[in-house]
A and B are shown apart, each in its own frame.
Chain A
Amino acid sequence: MKKIFSSLCIVSLSLACLPAGMALDWMNLAPAFAADTSNETIRVGSKKFTESVILGEIVRQLLQSSNEPGQRHPVLHRAELGGTRILWSALQSGDLDLYPEYTGTLTEELLPKGVANSEDAIRSALKAQSIGMTRSLGFNNTYAVGMKKSLAKRLSIRTLTDLKTHPELKLGLSSEFKQRPDGWPAVQKRYALPQRNIKALDHEVAYRALESDEIDLVDLYSTDAEIDYYQLLVLEDDLKVFPRYESVLIYRLDLLQRAPEVGAFLTKLEGSISETEMISLNADAKIRHIPEAKVAQDFLNAHFGIQRTQATESVAFQILERLREHLGLVLKSMFFSILVALPLGIWASRRPWSGQVILTTVGIIQTIPALALLVMLIRPLKALGFQGIGDTPAVVALFLYSLLPMVRNTHSGLSGISQQIRESAEVLGMKSFARLRLIELPLASSFILAGIKTAVVINIGFATLGALVGAGGFGQPILTGIRLDDHSLILQGAVPAALLALAAQGFFEVLERWIVPRGLKLKSRA
């Protein structure tokens, strides 16, 4: 009997101890002493598209190349973060020190309305937020709309204005471009375009859809490597709708106090990359599948004579490393989730009214899109002294998503116990806690365990989203693989994640045999 009760707790403990020798980095969950220690490490961020990752790598390697002892700071590159909002919030909160951005994005999306798209205006608006900005790195990567050259020729389309007469064309737009006011809405309004068949697609997926003629038009970045590769025509923005998207680096002003030598490095990069050079760097990574670190290294070597070899890690090592990160996310979040969900489920089954409130609340949490939740978590976590990006927000998000199956199953398992059984226990004279421990929890154990099992399996899948906030895990190769259209890389993340989910499933089947009382598995003699 005691076995049964303690077993439920052991589920969480055994989860936490499962991979022997895996040192759980609990410190990451303790309030980070970030404010004091951050002058040690410089944190560079990048967005989840290739150009941004290359620029982030260039910055990282350049900053690390300092030969002066004492001036050398460890530099961390948090690559492929899940969206502009995540990077911007992380920069403001101090989780990042700098990242590559575009002037158009700053004026149209991040800064208050009405800031002119000129370097001076932007710089002074940023300064008010204690953020600095370099001059243009040398290229303008504006939004553009493109289509296959062959189709454009056939339909005699050359400019955006020409689209007016072709309402049948299908569009596949990145959801960011589709939404943002300087993106498709501006184009559609200004040119009065009639197209209604618009799908929101990941940018990388859109190119493939274009190739297979599932869509006709895509949004582009004007430095995309694919423009030449797929033989695309960039439609002329004849009414000048798109703002300039000069590439810049934005950084926290306090970075220059903490690491004064950084200023000189950043100045070095200004004006150093032309538009054609950027297209070629992008093509190196995306078309020729050269790792971004190597692309960045070659660039630094060619321009500044900086030579530094990148240590490459074996695939096996990478997978083990991703496994460690992934399991870390799952185990930490499940540990706390079980600790919270079981009492909530018990409470919900005892108080019908507050039970409804609890079930509704955890249900609503489940409907929040992952990316939105991750963005929303950055500031509150920072305010509480935690890290806003990295594995803390991922653990918190996974914790929240795991609550529903466990709370609901605990609740229904306990509510399903017959009145006769409850009353028998009560009249026997058992106290409330003894009834819970010896009668109700064991009787509900298969339900509760099923809830935990569901939560773990969902959690292992969801944990791949951790990569969006720099938490690593199997989501990282998936994210990179999608970006680079590298199927083997996608499989490097997807297959182990699926195997992990299967292993978890098996683990729980075994656990169920051990925990669920034998008497509940017998057929009645009736």
Chain B
Amino acid sequence: MIQFKNVSKSYQNRLALNHISLTVESGTTTVLIGSSGCGKSTLLRAVTGLVNPDSGEIFLNEVRLTSQTLPELRSKIGYVIQEGGLFPHLTAEKNLQLMPKLLGWNMRKIRERINELAELTALPIETMQSYPSELSGGQRQRVSLMRALMLDPQILLLDEPLGALDPIIRRELQEDLREIFRRLKKTVLLVTHDLGEAGFFGDRIVLMKNGTLVQQGSLSDLVQRPADAFVTEFVNAQRSPLEELVR
């Protein structure tokens, strides 16, 4: 479970997060959505410790996030970013082995875990010997997800994980991801700017604007019962020409 209590953060007089309170229940997926600069990434990064809130508290499974608890809590979160953040000088396998090795796992355990995750993410085991630059964008994101899952964290944080992929690969990976979230019962916080993707993943969608939460609910809540004019505007802006045509 992730809890934000009254979290605020500002950069040079600009309020990026304005007294945010939000709870992501264990085993559910919450999607943060909004225009760029609305604070959705900042909120996600606050959970990783990369952003340090000016005030308010964050709890991960009832443990308050502080500089003391951060190292321990980091082993309980998996983090995936848009370009994967894989280390270019290491093969996929070495990327995956980094943390387990530092934590003293034996090689057999590491190999078993890699096999298990390769199967889960539908990656052929041969790709493990490739360097990131030799993988396709979709493969890179799958390896990145594997790396995030290596230590079997309870919490998964994904920042625009599919943002850089072309539509077909993106669609394929969306389905695989949703399947993995459900199967593993992880607590997921995902950031996207795509409403369709948000509706696809999210048990709940949280729409943000200027560092505040505008509306929370399912996709149909946002479409049918918009909290204000901004929500309507945001929803309408994402209707595709295709949809108009079908209608």
Contact = CB atoms under 8 A, between A and B. Distances in A.
Interface string A439-454: 1001100000000000
A489 to B, nearest CB: 49
Given A439-B87, A517-B89, A520-B88, A427 B50 contact: yes
B136 interface: yes
A421 interface: yes
A520 B89 contact: yes
B39 interface: no
A420 B71 contact: no
A427 B48 contact: yes
Interface string A204-222: 0000000000000000000
Interface in A405-455: 420-421, 423-431, 434, 438-439, 442-443
B92 to A, nearest CB: 10
Interface residues of A, number: 26
B81 A443 contact: no
Contact of B50 (A426, A439, A520): A426
A428 B147 contact: yes
Interface string B155-188: 0000000000000000000000000000000000
A426 to B, nearest CB: 7
Of B49, B81, B90, most A-chain CB atoms within 10 Å: B90
Nearest to B89: A517
Contact of B85 (A4, A424, A518, A520): A424
B131 A420 contact: no
Contacts of A442: 89
A421 B87 contact: yes
Contacts of A523: 133
Given A427-B49, A523-B133, A525-B136, A517 B90 contact: yes
Interface residues of B, number: 28
Contacts, number: 70
B242 interface: no
Interface string B8-43: 000000000000000000000000000000000000
A127 B74 CA distance: 75
Given A427-B48, A427-B74, A429-B74, A519 B91 contact: yes
A446 to B, nearest CB: 10
Interface in B75-114: 75, 77, 79, 81, 83, 85-91, 94, 98-99, 102
B135 interface: yes
A522 B79 contact: no
Given A424-B79, A424-B81, A1 B94 contact: yes
Contacts of A431: 71, 102
B211 interface: no
A314 interface: no
Contacts of A426: 49-50
A415 to B, nearest CB: 17
Contacts of A425: 87
Contacts of B87: 421, 424-425, 439, 443
B134 A525 contact: yes
Contact of A420 (B81, B91, B147): B81
Contacts of B90: 1, 517, 519
B102 A434 contact: yes
Given A429-B71, A517-B89, A522 B133 contact: yes
A368 B240 CA distance: 67
A309 interface: no
A443 B89 contact: yes
B53 interface: no
Given A427-B79, A428-B98, A430-B98, A420 B85 contact: yes
Interface in A452-486: none
B132 interface: yes
Interface in B123-139: 131-136
A103 B9 CA distance: 77
B147 to A, nearest CB: 7
B93 to A, nearest CB: 12
Given A519-B131, A525-B133, A428 B88 contact: no
Interface in B141-156: 147
Contact of A423 (B75, B85, B98, B136): B85
A1 B71 CA distance: 23
Contact of A519 (B85, B99, B132): B132
B50 A522 contact: no
A334 B214 CA distance: 62
Contacts of A424: 79, 81, 85-87
Contact of B102 (A423, A430, A443, A517): A430
A426 B70 CA distance: 11
Of A421, A424, A439, A520, most B-chain CB atoms within 10 Å: A424
Contacts of B85: 420-421, 423-424
3 closest A-B pairs (Cβ-Cβ)? A424-B85, A517-B89, A519-B131
8 contacts: A423-B85, A424-B81, A424-B85, A424-B87, A428-B74, A428-B98, A430-B99, A520-B88
Given A427-B50, A428-B74, A428-B99, 13 more contacts: A424-B81, A426-B50, A428-B147, A429-B99, A430-B99, A430-B102, A439-B87, A443-B89, A518-B131, A519-B90, A519-B91, A519-B132, A522-B133
